[in-house]
Structure 1
Amino acid sequence: MDETRGPAPARTASAAVRTAPRTASPSTARAINDRLALQLLQSEGPLTAGELKARTGLSRPTVADLVERLRTAGLITVVGESGARRRGPNARLYGIVAGRAHLAAVDLRTHGATLAVADLLGRVLAEATVPVGPDAEPGRAAANGVATLEKLLGEAGAGRPHVVAVGAPGLVDPATGRFGGTEWVPAWHDALVTAFGDRPAAPVLLENEVNLAAVAEQRDGAACDRDTFVLLWLGHGTGAAVVLDGRLRRGASGGTGEIGFLPVPGTGTLPTAAGCDGGFHSLAGSAAVCRLAAEHGVEAGPGEGRPGPGGTDATGAPAAEALVRAAVRAGESGAAFLDALAARVAIGAAAVCAVLDPGCVVLGGETGRAGGDALAGRVAGHLARMSPLRTEVRAGTVGGRAVLRGAVLAAMDAAQDDLFGPAA
């Protein structure tokens, strides 16, 4: 299931430029100024000492001191010069040493895992997907995953990763950072996360996949101008990620956004603690979308899978995605299906908005991505008729790699906090 969240610290770096408070001790002031300079170098790229002075408001001697400290620590280096006509110390461009640490990111799905190795600036250096069969023995699947990570590290010219960030379906206990209900996820997921933690080394950050997709949308996608929004995940299952004032909200048990369990009209039953059948999942999950498409005579295009058990095609990919794409391509003949689907999605969105009033809902997941602006616009229309709260509905733009990208960003933030010191 795709609808749960967990505790990995996927933080959004502040863009504000702040200098050290007047009451700070000299060592605290130095740490704050160093982190400020590193944040600027990460967000803007290489800068000269003069540009750092202008952007931070610090004095020239203070900037000179921090540049020397950061160079001695191996965190920044000279990467070039500014302008062909300028020469000398004042023209030197300083940049973060991207190879100072390497990161690992993992996107766990029901039928496999995608792994990536990135540098300290979040640039992916190597990537691979490991298929896992439905009857795979957990220990063997975990061993294959670890072996793949080792191979990728070698391709990237890296040693051990500084941190491993894993995005997965399933409830994650915020007190332990581990799966809180393994009956909801394949057994090999827990085995692989455990195997990563048993390697010599790197800490493992386990986060719900929907939360990581929200991090990616906020940093690189549809919500980059929002510090408060909800990502509504429409895939094999349904879920939501809640970002308020720039921070992911996970709840007391890690279950913020468990919208699949939301009781809704039109399902004929109620969800239970053991399963979300009868909840919003039964209206907007992949299997429900496939049934709705059949009612409206929508069929997938040539070469696209037909739905099987659980709303997947023969390859395990969500068939709902292909059906929604077909409806969007069909134009007017697919409009009735898209309208009916939007009405269902709006029920979940209206419930979230009534409680949180986020002002913006981003549609993510395979189905949300396939519907694009055509589905988002229809959901917005239904939502406007159901709720007095002004809410913009946007289609997610990061795409099918949102979870992996969010895992890279979470790992990058954790590594930078460790190496640079916590952000101010």
Structure 2
Amino acid sequence: MAASPSTARAANDRLALDLLQQEGALTAGQLKNLTGLSRPTVADLVERLGAAGLVHVVGEAGTERRGPNARLYGIVADRAHLAALDVRTGGVAVVVTDLVGTTLREDSLPIGGEAGTGPAVEQAVAFLEGAVAAAGATRLHSIGVGAPGLVDPATGELRDTSGLPAWHRRLLTALRDRLGARVLVENETNLAALAEQRTGAASDRDSFAFLWLGHGVGAALFLDGRLRRGASGGAGEIGFLPVPGTGGLPSAAGCEGGFHSLAGAEAVCALGERYGVGAEGADPALRAAGAVARAVETGREDFLEDLAGRLAVGAAAVASVLDPGCVVLGGEVGLAGGEALAARVQRHTAALSPLATQVRAGVLGGGAVLGGALRMAQDAARDELFAGA
């Protein structure tokens, strides 16, 4: 059955908006070429989108021919503002942008463990309110939040997880009450994988596994173009994976003795000290990354081979069960190790698993969580605002 005229117009308008979101400002001629639509159809949709307040003229494109320059059309950037929040056990980081993703404000705030639940929530909310005000964001539409712990796939809410600060769960309700925006929450590792899939090391992959190598370890799974969360939202809790070489087994109460004990930040720091490439600092993830970076710079093959063998245990387990074809090493350690570490992990993984698995270095590091949270907020705003176009 042929689409009705109204359905066809809606599809054409959404296609044009998606292109303007991805490519930036375009002329009517460029929209015609990219969409395959006729010139009159493009003229009509530009007029419709302008009347809806979604598109406006942002400049002119110079041409070599005589006559007036072609108008450049772009999305109305301040039609909506977005915020992203990376919630860690020791603080929060925030970025505020317009609808097209231009950064208006970026900042971070430490929140000490001595702060009670109420004061910690107040600090985090007031910090975000201040960032939004400083950015001049008067139309805050969506807030994307990345947090450690499990997100219930049925409710979209952060589950009560032992070992994590109680203020994390209280923060979401406070954000909704105080800022009046749509608040979306996702596990931090899933968001880091989303960022690497959109603009990073996995941008050409529909299926891949992502290993977060930071303070702790985690995994995220993209299979056939979709993020897979599992029945309870716990897919990717690789820190609990029983592995050889730890001298024990993990339990339901903690991941000590699991893969975390081989590849978590403290384990990597201890390994660095053993090989004489230790780094200083208060943050274990940054110290671990510093040790890896130092080993790469100084050519410490012994350290890199030992670390790669440890990481390959987790990579091979994921590859053998899920066959993603590609594993991305993310987080601070993955970024610090770069291709030097990734190539070694790939070689060790090939010795452990019969399934061909490419191993790549993540390119976004610890900032991937914030980037993924922003992408989530941007998708939500775009879906709502463009739905009636």
Name the TM tier (shorter chain): over 0.9
Confirm or deny: 8 A CA contact 1:128 1:148 kept in the other structure.
no
- 1:173 is paired with a residue of what secondary structure? coil
- Within the candidate set 22, 25, 30, 2:4 is matched to 25
Q: Give 1:329 shift.
A: 2.2
In structure 1, what is the equivalent of residue 258 of structure 2? 279
Name the CA distance, whole Å, in 2 between partners of 1:29 and 1:383. Answer: 49
Matches within 5 A, 1:210-229: 210-229=189-208
Spell out, residue by residue over 1:283-311, the C-alpha distance to the aligned partner (whole angstroms, 9 max, x if none): 111122222223333322xxx32xxxxxx
Matched-pair contact (CA < 8 Å) for 1:166–1:207: yes
TM-score, normalisation: structure 1:
0.87
The number of aligned residues is 388
- Structure 2 unaligned segments of length 5 or more: list them: none
Q: Within 1, Cα distance between the matches of 2:148 and 2:284?
A: 16
Q: Which moved more, 1:173-182 or 1:66-75?
A: 173-182
Match of 1:97 in 2: 76
2:274 alignment partner in structure 1? 295
The 2-side partners of 1:419 and 1:59 are apart by 25
1:115 aligns to what?
A: 94
Q: d(CA) in 2 for partners of 1:86 and 1:264? A: 70
The match for 1:328 is 296
**Distance of aligned partners of 1:408 and 1:77 in 2 relative to their CA distance in 1, 3 Å threshold:** same
Q: Secondary structure at the match of 2:140?
A: coil
**TM-score normalized by the length of structure 2:** 0.95
* Superposed CA offset, 1:3-49 (max 9, x none): xxxxxxxxxxxxxxxxxxx6222222221111100111111111122
Distance in 2 between the 1:336 and 1:39 partners?
49
Partner of 2:230: 251
Give the Cα–Cα distance (whole angstroms) in 2 for the partners of residues 207 and 265 of structure 1: 31
Higher relative contact order (CA 8 A, sep 6+): 1
Map of 1:419 onto structure 2: 385
Cα shift at 1:86: 5.8
Matched, 1:353 2:319: yes
Distance 1:294 1:52 in 2: 57
Secondary structure of 1:183's counterpart equals coil
| C-alpha distance in structure 1 between counterparts of 2:284 and 2:262, whole Å | 20
Out of 344, 360, 365, which is 1:399 matched to? 365
Structure 2 CA distance for aligned equivalents of residues 298 and 39 of structure 1: 47
Residues 87 and 131 of structure 1, relative CA distance in 2, 3 Å threshold: farther
Query: How much identity, in percent, do the aligned residues show?
Result: 65
In the TM superposition, 1:95-244 aligns within 5 A as 95-244=74-223
Q: Is this contact kept in 1: 2:334–2:365, CA < 8 A?
A: no
1:308 is matched with none
Q: For the residues of structure 1 that align with 2:190 and 2:71, how far apart are their CA atoms? A: 39
Task: Answer yes or no: is the 8 Å Cα contact 2:272–2:303 preserved in 1.
Answer: yes
Aligned to 1:162, what secondary structure does the other structure show?
strand
Given the alignment, which residue of 328, 331, 340 partners 1:362? 328
Q: Gapped runs of 5+ residues in structure 1?
A: 1-21, 306-312
1:262 maps to 241
| 1:369 Cα deviation after fit | 1.7
Contact 1:170-1:184 within 8 A present in 2 as well = no
